[in-house]
Structure 1
């Protein structure tokens, strides 16, 4: 089982390293999201660069990167704590993608995807939290940061066995949002107009 867990962690990282944003932008002939817009290869930046469909495909790809390795590992009988670590590995792949010069995104969608197979109720709560905060603020980063801060509490409440991996993922995502946090504090963070 130990070798299987190590293999699953490596595979999760490799799958997480597939940059949906970069591939979708290439497919649609859009600028490289790592060097344009907010310079973040994620669905929000792809939306700014190319609109709804490229952003939707990016979001779907990022969610699947977290979901597929965790789901496969669940069916292989890997115990809950290590399923959480496999989810962390997928997020690390998204943040530090092997195939794209280790310049990745912030792993919010990938983390959500990793939770769906093993903690569906928690994933739904996180989606609701994100939607409520975004609806009120129109600021994607604020919605993500708020949601991530609630994640460990949701985990402890609904799936205590995933609390430690959830804390690890939350800290990773908060670390990746340092610049956004600074802009939020200074009032300079970009928001989506209600019209758009």
Structure 2
């Protein structure tokens, strides 16, 4: 029994490590540099991922980022499945990939929001519920032309479909994975709010300094002996 537990622990640690290293690969950085684009953290919503890349990179570059981020989750789970039959190890690999994408060691821990890494993992972990969610996303996208809203609907519907097929334990594990995305979104929102407050403070400082500047110029002109 201790040997089996040891093997399980080793498998779990390897799964997390492999997932984290794969997730840490800065695909968006590689692609953006290849196409002469900017650092995606400095433009748009500051997210180094597919959605932000659409506004500043060619379509084929954005699609490359899409496939690369999706592959992080897919390959991580497939690697875990090749070395363990324990579904919990598979989920640990998926979590490692998502954490690696969000806080990558190869990019100074400044990563994306792990949505595509999660989608890739979900495709392997629960193919039928993932397929159902993808169909719903496409239908809502066709009806509303709002891709981001359609994706949110698919994310909400996926756990219900998974509960029906896989039961409560795997669905709960999926909830843990989705919480990583939630944490990343909250952190990004806090940074955006902080940036806005900083901009407001800077604008107020400029407005407060403007009368002093005008007064200084007026005083200088009054003291000018040439007048």
Same fold (TM over 0.5): yes
Q: Which residue of 2 aligns with 1:151?
A: 158
Question: Secondary structure in 1 aligned to 2:111?
Answer: coil
Q: Which residue of 1 aligns with 2:37?
A: 30
Q: Unpaired segments of 5 or more residues in structure 2?
A: 1-6, 193-227
Q: Take 2:152 and 2:182, find their aligned partners in 1: how far apart are those partners?
A: 7
Q: Take 2:153 and 2:60, find their aligned partners in 1: how far apart are those partners?
A: 26
Shift of 1:111: 0.6
Does the 8 Å CA contact 1:126/1:151 hold for their aligned counterparts? yes
Which is richer in helix? 2
Q: Which residue of 1 aligns with 2:48?
A: 41
Q: Does 1:173 align with 2:181?
A: yes
Report the more deviating stretch, 24-33 or 123-132: 123-132
Q: Which residue of 2 aligns with 1:58?
A: 65
Q: Take 2:142 and 2:113, find their aligned partners in 1: how far apart are those partners?
A: 21
Q: Which residue of 2 aligns with 1:121?
A: 128
Q: Take 2:102 and 2:118, find their aligned partners in 1: how far apart are those partners?
A: 11
Q: Unpaired segments of 5 or more residues in structure 1?
A: 184-196
TM-score with structure 2 setting the length: 0.72
Q: Take 1:62 and 1:79, find their aligned partners in 2: how far apart are those partners?
A: 25
Q: Which residue of 2 aligns with 1:67?
A: 74
Larger radius of gyration: 2
Q: Which residue of 2 aligns with 1:14?
A: 21
**Runs (4+) of structure 1 moved beyond 4 Å?**
none
Q: Take 1:59 and 1:131, find their aligned partners in 2: how far apart are those partners?
A: 16
Question: Secondary structure in 2 aligned to 1:117?
Answer: helix
Deviations along 1:106-148, whole A, 9 cap, x unmatched?
A: 1111111112223211221222233233334444433333322
Shift of 1:88: 1.3
Q: Take 1:141 and 1:110, find their aligned partners in 2: how far apart are those partners?
A: 16
TM-score with structure 1 setting the length: 0.83
Question: Secondary structure in 2 aligned to 1:65?
Answer: helix
Shift of 1:49: 1.0
Q: Take 1:11 and 1:68, find their aligned partners in 2: how far apart are those partners?
A: 9
Q: Which residue of 1 aligns with 2:171?
A: 163
